[in-house]
Amino acid sequence: MQYTLVILLLPLLSFLLIGLLDSKLKPSLAGNLGTLSLAIIAALSYYCAFDYFTADRVNGVFQPVIMQMEWLRFSDSLHIDLGLLLDPISVMMLVVITTVSLMVHIYSLGYMKGETGFQRYYAFLSLFTFSMLGLVVATNIFQMYIFWELVGVSSYLLIGFYYTKPEAVAASKKAFIVTRFADLFFLIGILILSFYTQTFDFATLTAGNSNILSETAGATFLGASVLTWALALIFIGGAGKSAMFPLHVWLPDAMEGPTPVSALIHAATMVVAGVYLVARLFPVYFFYSPEVLAGIAVVGAFTSLYAAVVACVQTDIKRVLAFSTISQIGFMMVSLGASGFEGHEGLGYMASMFHLFTHAMFKALLFLGAGAIIHAVHSNEMSHMGGLRKYMPITHATFLIACLAIAGIFPLSGFFSKDEILAAVFHFCPILGVVMSFIAGLTAFYMFRLYYNIFWGEEHKHEHQPHEAPKLMTFPLIFLAAVTVVAGFIPFGHFVTADGMLYDIHIDMTVALSSTVVALIGIALATLMYRKPTQIPATLAKSSPGLYKAAMKRFYIDEFYLFVTKRVIFNCISRPLAWFDRHVIDATMDGLATITQQASVKIRGLQSGQLQRYVLVFLIGVLLAAAIAIIVYLA
Amino acid sequence: MDYTNFFLMKEELSLIGVMLILLVYDIFSGEKGKRHFQTLALGLLGLHTAVNCLPREAFDAFGGMYSYKPVMTAVKTILSAATIIVLMQVNNWLKDEERRNKQGEYIYLTLSTLLGMYFMISSGNFLLFVIGLEMASIPMAALVAFDKYRQTSAEAAAKYIFSAAFASAISLFGISLIYGSTGTLYFDDLAGSITGSPLQVMAFVFFAAGLFFKISLVPFHLWTADVYEGAPTTVTAYLSVVSKGAAVFVLFSLLTKVFGALMEEWQFILYALVLLSITVGNLFALRQKNMKRFLAFSSISQAGYIVLAVLAGTPQGLTALIYYVLVYACSNLAVFGVVSIIEQRSGKTDIADYNGLYKTNPRLSVAMMLALFSLGGIPFFAGFFSKFFVFMAAAEQGFYVLIFIALLNTVISLYYYLIVVKAMFVKDNERPIETIRSDRPAQIALALCMFGVLCLGILSVVYEGIGQLAL
Amino acid sequence: MYELIINFLEGPVPMEAYLIVSSIMFFAGIYGFIARKNLMMMLISIELMLNAADLNFAVFNRYLYPEQPEGMFFTLFGIAIAACETAVAIAIIINIYRNLQDVDVEELNQLKG
């Protein structure tokens, strides 16, 4: 399967080509070049998936394909490799990334038309695609870390694409700093893990009950095993990228970037990197520190609930979608945390990956739809929309499909994946199951609140008549909608499971029925409140102003961070430090600088330009060195 | 006497062949043929490098007078490749009105220093070593004096030849004392005979001073800045990269092979020299106004880092050393390439002249910036990896304090490299250097260096390949 | 006392005598190099230093290791090398004289700092 290398190299090539030529390339050419290369690698990924999943199973498991070369060598056992690892989840991710990326590339041809820096935009898109692909096919955790950082950088570049807009610059900085902060823990985790296990390789790490790991599990630190610490730290890295509470603050702000970018990076691909990371190391988590796994479930559930509540009151449509993304990633995390390993026990893992797949499609669809709407009305605010269904029939239809899918209505893809997640969570802990069902209902509610506010309700006065997006933009919408409709029927358990064995999905009727009912209630409520302008939302908001305002302000998490950084860190730590710096360190430094200057004036005499002085210094040097050497010899 | 021994010295023979062909061509070609002289020289030298780039089995020839190890192929290839790059940069400068008739001289002189270095590297006896060393330094003085109507060039040449002669006299005196106390000049025999006595220790220091002079370690460095400033820029580039690289390699092999018994002593001395070189080099570099002087001090401090690898004294140290020389060659030749292009077209060499260079010559500025980043050791440029490997090698031998000081010094060095970058990109200039169209060979040379700066670190094959040879 | 001197003068010259001579030459050379201001005189001083080393080689060879003429060879090559060095140095000195109309080493002070 050597051709998979092309999948990785082609986007890099197109990045270099477009990036280096930049403004020398005609914008349309740059766009077409990027899109063409993406189309090629998408086709290759599909072929690769076909190839991989039609190969024979050995002992009931698809064999991983590893191609790698040694890169940096520290010792015989510890070296960093670069390579490609194909196994069910990485192949699945290849398909997801290339599909969504291709759609975004096509869509952007229309959406970004005429923007300054069009070529730069496509160069960055290629860079992002390259790094994301490199991340998922990494054979070892260090390679993953390198691409992880590259993904962060390209995301930073894309969020800050409109670099003349201060909000965009601030948002890109925030995203970079928050995720970098989390990555620090990730790196420490990697170092601990590799120090104790002497390997970076995923294959070695996840190879069932390997000796290295069980030995390592013995070492403890502060009451928990070292392995647990390492895994927890690694999860913090994943939580940063996947916007888990309390590291989620960057994601809503990241919506300042161009909308297709949000669809690609902040909905479908990069933000699920954390989920992917946990899935990649799942056997290690499961066998060696189930407590961390339980922690992941709790963090996921809380994040999911929190984000869903906040999403209910946001008015910027992209922010609603951002919070919905956070909430859905929470679902995936819970499902992973609740999963077992073998057979039916491993349902959660399968469900999580399945949801990752379906969510990527319909969330990208939602974002692209939102992009089309913003394109039409030139605003992100719900209050500037309303009644758009007449003007934008295609966008309307596809958006509705996506909303139904995320709400979990049969027979759309979201129904199947969410159903599996709920089943797995109920199996793990019924209370958590109830909570997650409630969140599913909330999801249906806020999505339809969004839907009605955009497409129904009171029509807003527009300066220009809103119109349907151009074909380049509607094609990806239709394609993704089609995928959303049929994806649920993919027998996902035949491809991706925790233990690699074939697993048949059964729909658990009680869970399916109850979750459908909950979703329908959510939709009904939203219909009641938002389909026509009513006083209900306002009354509700008034009846519990505290809660409403708190949710509106995203429960003050951002303010809390500001408080911590500005008040606590600046006042209590930085001020005294600044004083210390000015009066003690600076004084010392000034002194040092004076000494250095005087020294440099003094030693200037050395470089006098007089040959004979040079030779004298040389001679003194030789004699001194000889004397010292003899003293050392005698001593 | 077995004359087939001569044919074992393949590298030297082919280089002599190149020189002879060029000599004959230079004499018999007319005015027209002279135009292609440099192309021919580059082609032949390229051929020579390509033919000799594959390592052979280790052997001794002439009863141990000449000894070959596979790792020497790596060093010689790096040196001759660097020479090719220097000759590419010199192309345009040599075609000037006043130098057109002296193209040949420049190239034979350069090649004969290269030949001297080859002999020095492969020597198995002090006699051949001394001949090689002198062959590498005497023509160099003529090269430094190449601009003979420019007073600074003559002055630099005088300073160079006198300092070099003084250093080699001291070195020879040291060798004579070593001979007196052991009775042999063969490296293999010496390794057993040097057991340590105050006389031998002193003789060793006298001898090593000659090499320290070539590497320009503090306090044997005082000639460096003056000569670098006065010499034609391309000669400076050659002096700072090729001559230094050869000397460092020889220092390593002599110290570990011949003076292994005096390890404690030379480690102590090198420790002090590294410390002094890095620090003093940096301190002086901080206050330079002239680009070439600035680079002289930067190269002194770089030499300190290279000698850190000598201090380690292990095969890993040798690998790190050769790798460092390779990376340093790419970065430094790139910087000198830009400096010499600018000097040739505008005659400006002050750092202040570089203000606002980015506005008029963006490509040269970016190349210069990348090369300076590599010299400063910024991550993911080749220079970062070379420093990293040197530190790793030294850390294995436990020189933690020295590494710590070296690390502090990299920060200082970063500061002054960034001063130049800032001058080019940020500062304004009322009369910036006009836009320059550089000639094709210089562009290719610069591109090659850029490739090295950007890719050598990432292509770990290079480091590992050297490591294989160095075992 | 008288006999001692006679014996010394009539007997073979001891190696130490040569070494004393060569050392004096060497340090005289160093002194000359640092103290003389004329470039030609400095060059002659260098020759002294080099010759001291060459003398050492010959003497060690003759007295200590007479089986093989290694030291003698070194001396021969040393003389040749010294000649080359002198040739180039004189050429450069002439060049300096052309530029400065002087061969005083202290005039070489354009490059410094």
**Per-position DSSP letters for B99-131, written without gaps between them:** TGGGHHHHHHHHHHHHHHHHHHHHBSBHHHHHH
Reported as type and span, the H/E element at residue A72 is strand A65-73
pLDDT of residue A547: 63
> What's the pLDDT tens digit per position in B380-402?
788 888 998 898 888 888 888 89
Q: What is the residue type of A16?
A: L
From the CA of C60, how many Å to the nearest CA of chain B? 5
* Inter-residue contact B129 to C78 (CB < 8 Å): no
Q: What is the residue type of B116?
A: G
- Among A393-397, A576-580, C107-111, which is the least confidently predicted range? A576-580
User: Which range of residues forms the domain containing residue B285?
Assistant: 3-470
DSSP at A346: G
**C96 contacts B154? CB cut-off 8 A:** yes
**A607 contacts B284? CB cut-off 8 A:** yes
pLDDT of residue A534: 67
- Tokens for A28? 């349309």
Q: Report the C-alpha gap between A242 and A247 in whole angstroms.
A: 9
What pTM did the predictor assign?
Answer: 0.67
Instruction: Between A266 and B345, name the one with better pLDDT.
Output: B345
**B163 contacts A611? CB cut-off 8 A:** yes
* Inter-residue contact A487 to A358 (CB < 8 Å): yes
Q: Report the C-alpha gap between B123 and B61 in whole angstroms.
A: 10
Q: Does B220 touch chain A (CB under 8 A)?
A: yes
Q: Would you say residue A24 has pLDDT above 60? A: yes
Q: Report the C-alpha gap between A432 and A305 in whole angstroms.
A: 11
Instruction: Between A183 and A465, name the one with better pLDDT.
Output: A183
Q: How many CA atoms lie within 13 A of B151 on its CB side?
A: 12
pLDDT of residue A539: 67
Residue of A nearest to C113 (CA): A607
Q: What is the residue type of A231?
A: L
Helices H / strands E in chain B, number of each = 22, 2
Nearest alpha carbon to residue B306 among B344, B249, B238: B249
- Tokens for A492? 């996902």
pLDDT of residue B22: 92
Q: Would you say residue B206 has pLDDT above 80? A: yes
Q: Does A615 touch chain B (CB under 8 A)?
A: yes
pLDDT of residue B346: 86
**A611 contacts B158? CB cut-off 8 A:** yes
Buried b vs exposed e over B330-362: b needs ≥16 C-beta within 10 Å?
bbbbbbbbbbbbbbbbeeebebebbbbbbeebe
DSSP at B352: G
Reported as type and span, the H/E element at residue B269 is helix B263-286
Q: Would you say residue A374 has pLDDT above 90? A: no
**B220 contacts A615? CB cut-off 8 A:** no
- Tokens for B143? 């090269």
Give the three-class secondary structure for A281: coil
Q: Report the C-alpha gap between B62 and A328 in whole angstroms.
A: 78
* Inter-residue contact B269 to B209 (CB < 8 Å): no
ipTM rounded to 2 decimals = 0.93
pLDDT band at residue B273, thresholds of 50, 70 and 90?
very high
* Inter-residue contact B385 to B451 (CB < 8 Å): no
What value does the mean pLDDT take over residues C80-106?
92
> What's the pLDDT tens digit per position in B14-46?
999 999 999 999 888 877 878 888 899 999 999
Which chain B residues are closer than 8 Å to C70 by Cβ?
127, 179, 184-185
> What's the pLDDT tens digit per position in B120-154?
999 999 999 999 999 999 999 999 999 888 889 99
Q: Does C51 touch chain B (CB under 8 A)?
A: no
Percent over 90 (pLDDT), chain B: 57
pLDDT band at residue B407, thresholds of 50, 70 and 90?
confident
Pairs of residues, one from chain A and one from chain B, whose beta carbons lie less than 8 Å apart: 86
Contacts of B42 (CB under 8 A, 6+ apart): B84, B87, B88, B441
- 3-state SS string over A563-630? HHHHHHHHHHHHHHHHHHHHHHHHHHHHHHHHHHHHHHHHHHHHHCCCHHHHHHHHHHHHHHHHHHHH
* Inter-residue contact A307 to A249 (CB < 8 Å): no
What ranges make up the beta strands (E) of B271-336? none
Q: Report the C-alpha gap between A449 and A383 in whole angstroms.
A: 12
Percent over 90 (pLDDT), chain A: 1
Q: Report the C-alpha gap between B288 and B281 in whole angstroms.
A: 11
From the CA of C19, how many Å to the nearest CA of chain B? 10
Cα–chain center distance at B384: 19
Buried b vs exposed e over A218-231: b needs ≥16 C-beta within 10 Å?
eeeeeeebbbbbbb
Contacts of A409 (CB under 8 A, 6+ apart): A415, A516, A519, A520, A523
pLDDT of residue B224: 93
Q: Name the B residues in 164-193 with CB < 8 Å from any A CB.
A: 166-167, 170
Instruction: Supply the angle between the helices B440-455 and B70-94 in degrees, to the nearest 10.
Output: 140
Q: Which of A607, A612, A615 sits opposite C113 (nearest CB)?
A: A607
- Tokens for B215? 């590497």
pLDDT of residue C108: 87
pLDDT band at residue B102, thresholds of 50, 70 and 90?
confident
Q: How many CA atoms lie within 13 A of A113 on its CB side?
A: 12
Which chain A residues are closer than 8 Å to C112 by Cβ?
607-610
* Inter-residue contact A198 to A142 (CB < 8 Å): no
Nearest alpha carbon to residue B276 among A628, A609, A587, A610: A628
Domain count of chain B?
Answer: 1
Q: Does C108 touch chain A (CB under 8 A)?
A: yes
pLDDT of residue A214: 61
Instruction: Between A584 and B376, name the one with better pLDDT.
Output: B376
What value does the mean pLDDT take over residues A73-95?
78
Q: Report the C-alpha gap between C13 and C15 in whole angstroms.
A: 7
Pairs of residues, one from chain A and one from chain C, whose beta carbons lie less than 8 Å apart: 27
Q: Does B51 touch chain A (CB under 8 A)?
A: no
> How high is the mean pLDDT of chain B?
90
Which chain A residues are closer than 8 Å to B464 by Cβ?
70, 73
pLDDT of residue A480: 86
Q: Would you say residue A528 has pLDDT above 60? A: yes
Q: What residue has token string 């189930």?
A: A290
* Inter-residue contact A247 to A182 (CB < 8 Å): yes
Nearest alpha carbon to residue A320 among A382, A379, A245, A395: A382
User: CA dist A470 to A111, A380, B45, Å?
Assistant: 9, 19, 61
Q: What DSSP string runs through A498-554?
A: SSSS-------HHHHHHHHHHHHHHHHHHHHHHTTT-SHHHHHHHHSHHHHHHHHTG
- Tokens for B184? 């042999």
B397 φ, ψ (degrees, to nearest 5): -90, 0
Q: Does B219 touch chain A (CB under 8 A)?
A: yes
Instruction: Between A387 and B173, name the one with better pLDDT.
Output: B173
Q: Does C28 touch chain B (CB under 8 A)?
A: no
Q: Would you say residue A152 has pLDDT above 60? A: yes
Q: What is the residue type of B340?
A: S
Q: What is the residue type of A496?
A: V
pLDDT band at residue A219, thresholds of 50, 70 and 90?
low
Q: Is A587 exposed, middle or buried (0-12, 13-18, 19+ CB in 10 A)?
A: exposed
> What's the pLDDT tens digit per position in A35-64?
888 888 889 888 888 888 887 777 777 777
**C29 contacts B158? CB cut-off 8 A:** no
Which chain C residues are closer than 8 Å to A608 by Cβ?
109, 112
pLDDT of residue B144: 94
What ranges make up the beta strands (E) of A110-268? 220-221, 224-225
Q: Report the C-alpha gap between A317 and A375 in whole angstroms.
A: 13
Residues forming a β-bridge with A65: A86
Helices H / strands E in chain C, number of each = 4, 0
**C50 contacts B161? CB cut-off 8 A:** no
Mutation target to probe the A interface, by most A beta carbons within 10 A, among C26, C31, C33, C38 is C33
> How high is the mean pLDDT of chain A?
79
Q: Which of A608, A615, A619 sits opposite C112 (nearest CB)?
A: A608
Handedness of CA A487, A493, A496, A497 (dihedral sign): positive
- Tokens for B163? 């300092």
Q: Is A85 exposed, middle or buried (0-12, 13-18, 19+ CB in 10 A)?
A: buried
Instruction: Between B379 and B446, name the one with better pLDDT.
Output: B446
Helix, strand, coil percentages in chain C from 3-state DSSP, rounded to 5: 80, 0, 20
Kindly give the pairing relationship between strand A220-221 and strand A224-225: antiparallel
Q: What is the residue type of A404?
A: L
Mutation target to probe the C interface, by most C beta carbons within 10 A, among B113, B137, B138, B176 is B176
- Tokens for A472? 């380049």
DSSP at B399: -
Residues forming a β-bridge with B66: B61, B123
Neighbours of chain A (3+ CB pairs under 8 A): B, C
Other Cβ atoms within 10 Å of A75 Cβ, number: 7
